[in-house]
Chain A
Amino acid sequence: MKPAPFAYHAPAGAAEAAALLADLGEDAKAIAGGQSLVPMLALRLAVPEHLVDLRRVDELRGIEERDGTVRIGAGTTQAAIGRSATVARGVPLLARATPLIGHFQIRNRGTLGGSLAHADAAAEYPAVALALDARIETLSPRGTGTIDAAAFFTGLWTTALEPDELLTGVAFPVWTGRRGFAVEEFARRGGDFALAGAAVAVELDGDDRVRRCAIGLFGLGSTPLRARAAEAAATGEVAADIDADDVGSAATASLESVPSDLHASAGHRTRVGAAVVARAWRRAIREAADA
């Protein structure tokens, strides 16, 4: 189980990396932490001709809060995100999703940008980015750009990134006020990709009504999903009047292309999905009500 040969590039800066990607086109893969890519190389499920290693691109790492967003460099490791007080304060949903990713040895290498670019529908970070309407920042020889999370995940392991585009960072809006966040997932074992998971953010107004809410789903489609109908139904309602199980049912009522495999059928995933949405909703509401 050894990778096929590839040519290796280790650019020193983001612009150089983007230029290389543009130059090499579809034959190249960018590698950051490699925690998804290297196993695929070893299994020869990915056989790129060129690997562009981002390890020397220091400008891709870092966490900063400004203008109501927390901006995280794409090369920031999951471990660094998990340790960050800025993230814990500004984007608690991301902080709470982090310990659920793999195991600590994986999080020491795995990066935010790698997770989003790999776009596994069962992974935590893509669902969090989608739930929080994060903006994904890119760089290419054509210039910088941003892609809304809602437009980023286009299909099974595919994103809106063009071959010449480098994912450079992610800007997460900071929710303020009476807010609550929860991530719930169900996996066969801890650390496995979830059979179904939910990332929920809520904000209550002074009358305990849901001012806004967001429900991100993972493991329940070919991409991470937003349960927009369930969000709409809950928004404006008095939190105490909302039955969390109804939220779970609404969030999973019209799912399409739910995966089915050795570990669970689509039907089981859907039912578990409803349960984890309900659990996450209850926890998020409780936190917001106490805030």
Chain B
Amino acid sequence: MPDAHAQQVAVEVTVNGTRRRAAVPPRLTLADYLRERCGLTGTHLGCEHGVCGACTVLIDGDAVRACLVLAVQADGAEVTTVEGIAAPDGELSPVQAAFRDHHGLQCGFCTPGFVVSVTAFLRDHPDPTDEEIRDGLSGNLCRCTGYQGILKAVRAAADGAAAAPKEHA
């Protein structure tokens, strides 16, 4: 019987395309695994109890809260974090570009969770209504923007018009 304090579990997780092996204590959350073991600090912890959405990542393509998944539960999975959304050369994804073009972020702390959630949401709802967008965003909390810029950004990204109203880049 494993000792709760000493147990280390071997996991293999593919993170942003890179296969990683580690031995982790079973209580380590996926969020802490990504931040502390992988050095991927874009996954932010805003509540650690599954409400704020700042830690959202993709597991096998599905948007999930990384604070509500244990690292051991991600064994064998493909994980995409916010660091894996832009192109390797730094070019912003359409969702990221839309957030920039529409002032969809201010302090930027909640932003990774929104970017990841919206990326998954728009993949599954390529032609959303405004109502669907609001519902789709309602699992991510933002305290700076009042959601106005975010709603515009998602609309623009959905319409494929991410680069619309830009007077100066």
Complex Cα distance A2/B67, Å?
A: 10
For residue A12, give the distance in angstroms from its CB to the closest CB of chain B: 13
Which single member of B3, B120, B135 contacts A190 (CB below 8 Å)? B135
B25:A10 contact, CB within 8 angstroms: no
Contact A38 B5 (CB under 8 A): no
Assess the B69–A108 pair: CB atoms within 8 A: no
Look across to chain A and name the residue whose beta carbon is closest to the beta carbon of B51. Answer: A39
Residue of B9, B29, B121 touching A8 (CB-CB under 8 A): B9
> Distance (Å) between the CB of B42 and the closest chain A CB?
17
CB contact list, A95-119 vs B, under 8 A = 102-106, 108-109
Most buried by A among B5, B25, B27, B32: B27
A14 in the interface (beta carbon within 8 A): no
**Interchain CB contact under 8 A, A102 and B139:** yes
Q: A4-B27, A7-B1 are in contact. Are A35 and B50 (CB under 8 A)?
A: yes
On whether the beta carbons of B50 and A38 are closer than 8 Å, the reply is: yes
Which residues of B sit under 8 angstroms from A108, Cβ to Cβ? 59, 62-64
Q: Which residues of A have CB within 8 Å of B3?
A: 7
Interface 1/0 per residue, B31-43 and A, CB below 8 Å: 0100000000000
* B83 within 8 Å of A (CB atoms): no
Complex contact B26–A105 (CB within 8 A):
no
Q: A62 in the interface, Cβ–Cβ < 8 Å?
A: no
Tell me how many residue pairs across A and B have CB atoms closer than 8 Å.
97
A 1-22 binary contact with B (CB < 8 Å = 1; else 0): 1111111111000000000000
Cβ-defined contact, B68 with A79, below 8 A: no
**Which one of A38, A50, A191 has the greatest number of beta carbons of chain B within 10 Å?**
A38
| Chain A residues with CB below 8 A from B48, complex form | 1-2, 42
Q: Complex Cα distance A164/B67, Å?
A: 28
A106: chain B residues at CB < 8 Å are 50, 65, 68, 139
Chain B residues with CB under 8 A of A49? 4
Give complex CA distance A191, B53 in Å: 13
The answer to the question of B73 belonging to the interface, with a C-beta cut-off of 8 Å to chain A, is yes
A8 and B2 contact, CB distance less than 8 A: yes
Of residues 46 through 68 on chain B, the ones whose CB sits less than 8 Å from some CB of chain A are 48-50, 53, 56, 59, 62-65, 67-68
* Interface residue count on the B side (C-beta < 8 Å): 36
Q: Does B136 contact A (CB under 8 A)?
A: yes
- A 254-276 binary contact with B (CB < 8 Å = 1; else 0): 00000000000000000000000
Q: B129 near A: Cβ within 8 Å?
A: no
B138 within 8 A of A: yes
A51 at the interface (CB under 8 A from B): yes
In the complex, the answer to whether B65 meets A105 with C-beta atoms within 8 Å is yes
Query: CB-CB < 8 A to A3: which residues of B?
Result: 27, 29
Any B CB within 8 A of the CB of A43 = yes
A41 on the B face (CB < 8 A): yes
Residue of A nearest to B134 (CB): A190
Q: Which residue of A lies closest to B113 (CB)?
A: A105
CA distance A38 to B64 in the complex (A): 13
For A77, give the chain B residue with the smallest CB separation. Answer: B62
A178 in the interface (beta carbon within 8 A): no
Cross-chain contact A109 with B9 (CB below 8 angstroms): no
Q: How far is the CA of A51 from the CA of B139 in the complex (A)?
A: 27
Give CA–CA (A104, B140) in the complex, Å.
10
Which residues of B pack against A, CB within 8 Å? Answer: 1-5, 7, 9, 25-27, 29, 32, 48-50, 53, 56, 59, 62-65, 67-70, 72-73, 75, 117, 120-121, 135-136, 138-139
Could you pull out 10 A-B pairs where Cβ atoms are within 8 angstroms? A2-B32, A5-B4, A10-B75, A38-B67, A42-B49, A55-B73, A103-B139, A106-B50, A109-B64, A191-B139
